[in-house]
Amino acid sequence: MEIYFTKLHGNGNDFILINELQGTVIPDDMKAAFARLYCDRRYGIGADGVLFLSGSATSTFKMRLFQPDESEAEMCGNGIRCLGKYLYDADLAKDFCTVETIAGEIKLELKGDEDTFSAVVSMPVPKFDRPDIPATGSGEYRETIADYEVYAVNVCVPHAVVFVEEIANVPLDEVAPIIRRHPSFPQGANVNFVEVAGEDELRIRTFERGIEGETLSCGTGATAAAAVAHHLGYPGTKSKAPVGTTVEVYTRGGPLTIYLGETTRMEGPAVNVYTGVITF
């Protein structure tokens, strides 16, 4: 038995893509276990998730994303750009397509030439159901992040956004898991520590649920951070730099551009790393 795959990344957020346009490759009841096994960076291929590309009754294509902890994510900003890169390289889509996800239909604008590729993703409008969530909860929670104020926004995935003076000084591995599992987020949350770097510029570090660690980039996290910064200003910082409707967000893996307004869009690169085959 042979399973063909493509390894891609968006600003270092990496994925294994399985093409199921011609039929099921990994049975649905095995997809979660497949992700756990092959996302392992020592005993598998290594990735932050597995993308399954298939046909759709409502959109041009369909994307499902399974994470290393066997959970299925609603959507992924970097992952869907990687899907777009695969479609572009395979001549399955060149300019525009729509993708069915758990979070709804996502529109993709594809931009490429011989040397570069980027995609503009139509993101769901950020929802501020609970615009700010102060650090309340158990005594341990207050003690651990007593100086942090946590903001909640949903960009098809629940996010916690925390503004700090310098993201380099954040004890992310210590603090982020507590916020990620706090009762304020019944479904859990990706946790983003954000530094206002300048006019319309943010720096960000993200701890992702499902991966249960820091990733080099998170597209929905960058969108969430830009949306909160624009919506609420720059809380928790001494910066007086304005945060407008076009925001450059610098993740550890590279920049993403977020466009806010009547629609919310994210633009960034995606790279095909290699193709391979798993043999049994």
Active site residues: 76, 218
| Rounded Cα gap, residues 101 and 76, in angstroms | 9
Structure tokens at 34: 């497949």
Reference 101, options 69, 123, 68; nearest CA is: 123
| Rounded Cα gap, residues 33 and 39, in angstroms | 10
Structure tokens at 148: 């942090």
- Identity of the residue numbered 158: P
- Which segments within 75-116 are labelled E, that is strand? 96-101, 104-112
In the numeric block, the tokens 């399973």 are attached to 3
Q: Are the beta carbons of 257 and 267 closer than 8 angstroms?
A: yes
